Amino acid sequence: MSVRKLKPTTPGQRFRIVNNFDQVTTSKPEKSLTKGISKSGGRNNTGKMTMRFIGGGHKKKYRIIDFKRDKAGSAEVLSIEYDPNRTAFIALVQYQDGEKRYIVATNGLKVGQTIHNGDETAPDAGNCMKLKNMPLGTVVSCIELRPGQGAIMARSAGSYGQLIAREGKYATIKMPSSEIRLVLVECRATIGAVSNSDHQTEVSGKAGRTRWKGTRPRTRSMVMNPVDHPMGGGEGRATGGIPRNKNGVPAKGYKTRYKKKASNKYIIERRKK
């Protein structure tokens, strides 16, 4: 993947850094694997705003992604496509019986390449298998947390984990957050890192492009009134005191994880701050 910096022909283009999309091969999605998606505007089923700063945005369709990769056999990659619902690119694959599915594309995946699902496959990029069949040190993405659940972890652009050990019924994986945790060896994962690794270097260039994505302007808590936020009020530019959210829960280092959470025993090392 590569990015390019635009010439400053307008103020919105001055700092714009765009993706070249040189990995994307088509602009139209597979119609049978798309469906309509409605916007909530941050409101719940009674019309009450429960999430702030959400609204508007360009109309888009949802692509149905096969996160389980439970269909055994080989498939041919037909196209690499852009997905407006996620940061990573997606790949349209066709199995030998003619069935088409979308999967999260990995780095280096090309049109015409054959990928495999199953336990007897080689550890090549794009293939999906159980953790118990992978060689140690393998870079993996789209990792299951429970067998048959479907990919939960390491699904965004450029993210990946690494299989560093295996003992008994558990495999030790270093997560994208640098957390080291145990995952059952019966869980499946995809070989290779997720595509579009240059996503984090992109710069939108103007506020309007954020509006196109469905995000409304965010008001800083310090400039609000005391009735609207705990950090509001005061004369002039007040510091706001302890950084905290609208409900008064402290931010910046305050631990909110439940101390007796059941999954704590599977975490060997917490993420580095």
73 and 129 together in one domain: yes
What does the CA dihedral 259, 261, 262, 263 come to, rounded to 10 degrees? -90
23 and 80, same domain (yes or no): yes
pLDDT at 73: 92
CATH number at residue 158: 2.40.50.140
Judge residue 117's burial from the number of C-beta atoms within 10 Å of its C-beta, 0-12 exposed, 13-18 middle, 19 or more buried.
buried
Q: What pLDDT does residue 241 have?
A: 86
What is the residue whose two structure tokens read 């059941």?
A: 262
Q: What is the CATH number of the domain that holds 253?
A: 4.10.950.10
Token couple for 43: 């409101």
The verdict on residue 249 lying in a domain is: yes
User: Is the distance from CB of 215 to CB of 208 less than 8 angstroms?
Assistant: no
**The pair of three-digit structure tokens given for residue 204, joined into one six-digit string:** 């939108």
- Residues with Cβ within 8 Å of 259's Cβ and at least 6 positions away in sequence, in order, are none
Q: How far apart are CA 139 and CA 160, in angstroms?
A: 7
Tokens 């090549």 label which residue?
A: 124
Report the 10 Å Cβ neighbour count for 222. 16
Given a cut of 70, the residues of the chain with pLDDT beneath it are 1
Q: Which residue range is the domain that position 16 belongs to?
A: 3-200
Tokens 């439940």 locate to 258
Q: Which amino acid is at 129?
A: M
pLDDT on residue 120 = 83
pLDDT of residue 1: 62
Buried b (16+ CB within 10 A) or exposed e, 12-43: eeeebeebeeebbbeeebbeebeeeeeeeeee
Q: Are residues 141 and 240 in the same domain?
A: no
How far is CA 203 from each of CA 82, 113, 206, 239, 250, rounded to the nearest angstrom?
18, 32, 9, 29, 30
Is residue 69 in some structural domain? Answer: yes
First to last CA, the chain: 29
Are residues 159 and 260 both part of a single domain?
Answer: no
Which DSSP helix (H) or strand (E) runs through 183?
strand 180-184
3-state secondary structure 82-128: CCCCCCCCEEEEEECCCCEEEEECECCCCCCCEEEECCCCCCCCCCE
Asked whether residue 205 is domain-assigned, the answer is: no
Q: Does 149 share its domain with 28?
A: yes
Note if the pTM is more than 0.85. yes
Q: What is the pLDDT of residue 272?
A: 82
Cβ 183 vs Cβ 169: under 8 Å: no
Which of 166, 200, 234 delimits the end of a domain? 200
Residues 169, 258 share a domain: no
Do 144 and 57 reside in the same domain of the chain?
Answer: yes
Residues 163 and 224 in one domain: no
- How many structural domains compose the chain? 2
